[in-house]
Chains A and B, each alone.
Chain A
Amino acid sequence: MREPVDGGPVTNRLTVGEAQGVWKAFGETQALRDVSLDIRAGECHALVGRNGAGKSTLVAILTGLVRPDRGSVTLGTEATPSLADRASWQRLVACVYQKSMVVPSLTVAENVMLNRSIGNDHGIINWRAVRSRARQVMLDWGFDLDVNRLAQDLSVEQRQVVEIARALSVGARFLILDEPTASLEKAAIERLFERIRRLKASGVGILYISHHLEEIYEVCERVTVLRDGARVLSETVSEIKQEDLVEAMVGAAPQRVTEIAAPAQKNESERPRLVISHLHVPTTLGPVEDVSFAISPGECVGLVGLRGSGTATVADAIVGLVKLTSGEMLLDGKRLSGGNVNGTLRQGIAYVPEDRHARGFIPYLGVGENLTLCILDRLSNWGLVSHSRHDRVAADLVDQLSIVSSGLSQQVGQLSGGNQQKVVVGRALARKPVVLIAVTPTVGVDVASKELLLNVIAEAREGGTAVLLVSDDLEDLRICTRLLIMVKGKLVKEYAQQPWSRHEVIAAIEGLAPTGNGTTKEKRDE
């Protein structure tokens, strides 16, 4: 047997990482309250929780990027180094983030051995040694990857291997995998699990963060659930049922989603306004596989899924921001020209984009101008914008949405987040669209604005607009008349009418097998 590089695989059952009674607050928000967690050598410990539960903060504390307000962190047998001593942290714990930390213009070998001199202390690099050490790391851990390839030529999966190899070659025996399967295909996920099992057998301790609960049952031994910054559960995976896991994530009270208008399923006979059939989008843009659905006038369909499940991509595809591989989209029986945003918007589809800063509004223009940006053609004669009409329309919208500003000319960039979002929604509604596509319209806004935005969208629906609401916020879904659940690019479930069970919806979003029937009907496999 070869000499293992930098320690190689070792087996012991020690604790590789531990947090004890950790507290952390960011300003007003208490991100973590008294959280304890330990990861043993040779085990895979799952960390789950809804968005904002405190997972990222805990990871930042465990990797030494953030100092806890109270409580302590122990890595292996050593006391934790000071935050400035990055090199020591790296020897003890490594995190593979969702965002790639590979330098594309360098080779695999160099990425693995990044910033470590090999040879003498003068910083001169011995290329032969770099390559052979990297190759040795790959061999020791059973990764098969040519170390001479450039990182930019690698697949997402192979880049992940490079990052894991880098972490292990430094000597870290505590590995944090942050949603490692989010951008992998099925076969690649299987190979990742195989690697995880091999790492466990070699005595590496893994903290595994994922939204997909079924993965946890496959590779993890223990699971810890965070909710609102507190640990609500820590259990052996084999001894906990999926329902209990979901319940721990959502909260104990099994409340139903409260419905305001309890919108009836009307216009059943009417022809659907928007028909999407067999939509496919390439994996690189966020996978969408064979998605079909229809929306009738006066309907509000909630398209629900985790980030990366393809829900936002479907919305982008309908608006024309994303090119389809295949599939057909019909608006009132007419084909929508995919990949042409302008054309789509002119046909009466309005869009509230996911990232309002990037695509939503123009920060240096006034409230009035932003609101009327899409309807200037209607407000002008022979190309000259009528100011009185412009102001009237804008003032009406400001009124309808209760936008708080010092006047129509105040720059939108100066408004609060909630009011900015109101401007974005107001602009979309200004055209009186036949179809409204809204992607996470209430993200990052305060409770009052949220209420108002949802009511405005609900009103538009009652006025006959067909609404597609993409969101993973259960609050948003109360205005929906129907829910479609997406997991990993596929439609998996449909909830035909309110009320639906909060638990069931969440379980479906997380990709779990159905736990009950109720109002549920299984989406046929087309």
Chain B
Amino acid sequence: MEIRQPLPAVISLLHRVSGALLFFPGIPLLLCSLDMILDSPQGYAQFQSLLTNPLLKGVLILSLWFFLHHFWAGIRFLALDLHYGDTLEQARFSSKMVLAAGIILTLLIAVLMW
């Protein structure tokens, strides 16, 4: 049996999944990067050379999507708390916007980075 979830439910679940992934490995990756960038010119160069690795670049872009999705979905939930856009139609529309904004911004930054 297949259960089809409405889009707002998918957005909500993705918010939770992305949140867990931002906790781990997101936070340690962020701190490691900041540590390398600010430590010394050698550390900075090492960070840059790590980023030429396509696998690590992929990890970074995926993390970026988790972050951006979590960011936009979080702002949507804050708006819903204040009763902005909590009719069914608006909620469906804003969940589409959240999903699109996360993916489009991620792709845009990925293209700029590559």
Chains A and B come from one and the same complex: no
Could you tell me which B residues sit within 8 Å of A by CB distance? none
Hey, which bits of chain A sit against chain B, CB under 8 A?
none
